[in-house]
Amino acid sequence: MSEMKKNQNDQNQKSESDVQIPLADLIKIRREKVLKLRELNINPYPYRYEPTHHIDKVLKDFDALAEKEEVIRLTGRIMLKRKMGKSFFAHIRDMSQAVQIYLKLDVVGRETFDLFNMLDLGDIIGCEGTLFVTKTGERTLRVKSLELLSKSLHPLPDKHAGLTDVETRYRRRYADLIINPEVREVFIKRSRIIKIIREFLNSRGFLEVETPILQPLYGGGMARPFTTHHEKLDMDMYLRIADELYLKRLIVGGYDKVWEYCKDFRNEGLDRLHNPEFSMIELYWANADYRDIARMFEDLLRHTVFTLYGTYKIPYGDHEIDFEPPFRWMTMIGSIEQQTGVDFTDLSYEQALEKAKALGLDTENLINRGKVIEAVWEAKVEKKLIQPTFVADFPVEISPLAKKHREDDRLTERFELFIAAQEMGNAFSELNDPMDQLERFLQQGKAIEDGDKEAQPLDDDFITALSYGMPPTGGLGFGIDRLIMLLTNQHTIRDVIFYPQMKDYREGTVPVSKILMQLLEEEQKKTE
């Protein structure tokens, strides 16, 4: 130990001009423990351990297990450690829960006691013993034997204050997960929600399929794509922005119910609600229209919420959202009239523009009638839709893949579902008339020329597919990350994505690998 101090002093002297990193000292102390353990013939990184229980199971069945004096083997990370002379209390946490363990010198013996004395917060151990309750009533494992399973070199965040710096939480998600158990709960729920939806769709006869992420032409949504290049083919390619066009080709091919869990990519700004890569589910159902889709979507959400929580009402921020069907259904134009008193049904582009201006909107980029109506709707209606509400019958100009409304060809059979003022899904009676689809693409082409960076390019092969004949089809897409936010009461998308997109590391930070590199060099010099 005195040698350790000398080393530190040496380092302080020789590196007076160097950068001092206190973290390096902390890591060095832990690294020296690794070397010391090896000297004692203890492998700090052994190969396996067989626990008998997860901690939550032990706590659940505690009385019975304690009564029977059953020998329990647990693994976990040391989160707290208190020395009491010739005994220790500590908390270890595994994937499920945390529990207190107790070590007594005269129970575990000198070797194990000294080993545990060397261990740090963050080390992963396996321990075996029986259960008891302490004087103060805490359920505890009395350790008889103990094994180090992995030595931790990096100190843990503060045991009480935790890790709150959002940047560090996202960049080092592992540290976030170690120290903030509620974070791991959110992601467990995320996994369960996806499983529930998958089972729901499979049980309804939908076939789960996979389509290309790497595409020669993007489409199926309004967004700017990421571009990339295939070297051997010498071909520019796009990362998909939506799965729609490939899934509909499968409907043409004869499948009548398909769906895909899609990772999509959009080259746009990122904020509370947007990550450049995100997840959607898209499904297509032959011989159905958008009303059928609405009923099924309602059912899917009802089922998911109820399976998860056993109730239809869940909190989101200040609101309580009620998922009990039927959800409210209103048309886009009708909802505008309800909020503003203006009926856009029979207004021309120029008349609509006038009304929009009168309502106080910036009308600069509103290049057609549909865009005007959409803008008014977004400004005056969207934020008010807290309880689940279908908004239906969008203008044809902003819905190039949706079938024209059976009663009004200025509109399409399309709905979006809104919950908590956020779009939770988008569905159409899919456009299956190849000639109409071609015309829509041509209109989109015009919009691109007019500077609309999100308009869709003409997809010749998709037109070819439709020309073979696609049955009447209802389609739906919904953002999984947004849904997870809603169902877990999270308010930023970064809290439901393990690794949200971040800019490159900041300057001035010293990576841990650099500290380890220095230690490695020191150790190699010593052995020479």
Positions in 144-173 near RNA (CB under 7 A): 154-168, 170
Instruction: Give the span between the Cα atoms of 113 and 145, in whole angstroms.
Output: 10
Contact string (CB under 7 A) for RNA, positions 23-62, x = contact: x-xx--x---------------------------------
Tokens coding 328: 């409210």
The verdict on whether omega for the bond into residue 326 sits within 30 degrees of 0, i.e. cis, is yes
Exposure string over 439-477, b if 16+ CB within 10 A, otherwise e: ebbebbeebeeeebeebbebbeebeebbeeebeebbbbb
| Nearer Cβ to RNA (180/467) | 180
Instruction: Give the span between the Cα atoms of 301 and 483, in whole angstroms.
Output: 9
| Nearer Cβ to RNA (87/387) | 87
Q: Is 493 in the site for RNA (CB under 7 A)?
A: yes
Q: Is 186 in the site for RNA (CB under 7 A)?
A: no
CB 232 within 8 A of CB 208: no
Instruction: Give the span between the Cα atoms of 186 and 184, in whole angstroms.
Output: 5
| Nearer Cβ to RNA (56/256) | 56
Q: Please list the residues that pair with 415 across neighbouring strands.
A: 392, 427
CA-based radius of gyration for the chain:
30
Q: Is 135 in the site for RNA (CB under 7 A)?
A: yes
Sorted by sequence, the CB contacts under 8 Å of residue 389 that are 6+ apart come out as 327, 328, 329, 330, 417, 418, 419
Residue 526 burial by CB count (10 A; 0-12/13-18/19+): exposed, middle or buried?
A: exposed
Instruction: Report in angstroms how near the CB of residue 476 gets to RNA at its nearest.
Output: 12
Cα dihedral across residues 32, 33, 34, 40: positive or negative: positive
Q: Applying CB under 7 A, what is the total number of residues that bind RNA? A: 84
Instruction: Report in angstroms how near the CB of residue 443 gets to RNA at its nearest.
Output: 16
Instruction: Give the span between the Cα atoms of 215 and 232, in whole angstroms.
Output: 15
Q: Is 438 in the site for RNA (CB under 7 A)?
A: no
Tokens coding 517: 């590199």
Q: Which one of the spans 17-25, 190-198, 308-316, 440-448 is the region binding RNA (CB under 7 A)?
A: 17-25
Q: Is 513 in the site for RNA (CB under 7 A)?
A: no
Tokens coding 47: 């190969």
Among 49, 62, 132, 312, binds RNA (CB under 7 A): 132
Q: Is 266 in the site for RNA (CB under 7 A)?
A: yes
At 354 the three-state DSSP class reads helix
Site residues (CB under 7 A) for RNA, limited to 307-366: none
Among 221, 370, 474, 475, binds RNA (CB under 7 A): 221
| Nearer Cβ to RNA (121/217) | 121
Q: Which one of the spans 283-291, 306-314, 374-382, 384-392 is the region binding RNA (CB under 7 A)?
A: 374-382
- Please report, to the nearest 10 degrees, the dihedral formed by the alpha carbons of residues 82, 88, 94, 97 taken in order: -70
**Beta pairing, strands 473-479 & 257-265:** unpaired
Q: What's the one-letter identity of residue 306?
A: F
| Nearer Cβ to RNA (313/491) | 491
Q: Is 504 in the site for RNA (CB under 7 A)?
A: yes
Instruction: Report in angstroms how near the CB of residue 126 gets to RNA at its nearest.
Output: 20
Site residues (CB under 7 A) for RNA, limited to 67-106: 80-87, 89, 100, 102, 104-106
Among 98, 121, 209, 217, binds RNA (CB under 7 A): 121
Q: Is 261 in the site for RNA (CB under 7 A)?
A: no
CB 143 within 8 A of CB 127: yes
Instruction: Report in angstroms how near the CB of residue 366 gets to RNA at its nearest.
Output: 9
Instruction: Report in angstroms how near the CB of residue 211 gets to RNA at its nearest.
Output: 18
Among 116, 278, 415, 428, binds RNA (CB under 7 A): 278
Site residues (CB under 7 A) for RNA, limited to 442-481: 454, 479, 481
Q: Is 19 in the site for RNA (CB under 7 A)?
A: yes
| Nearer Cβ to RNA (120/354) | 120
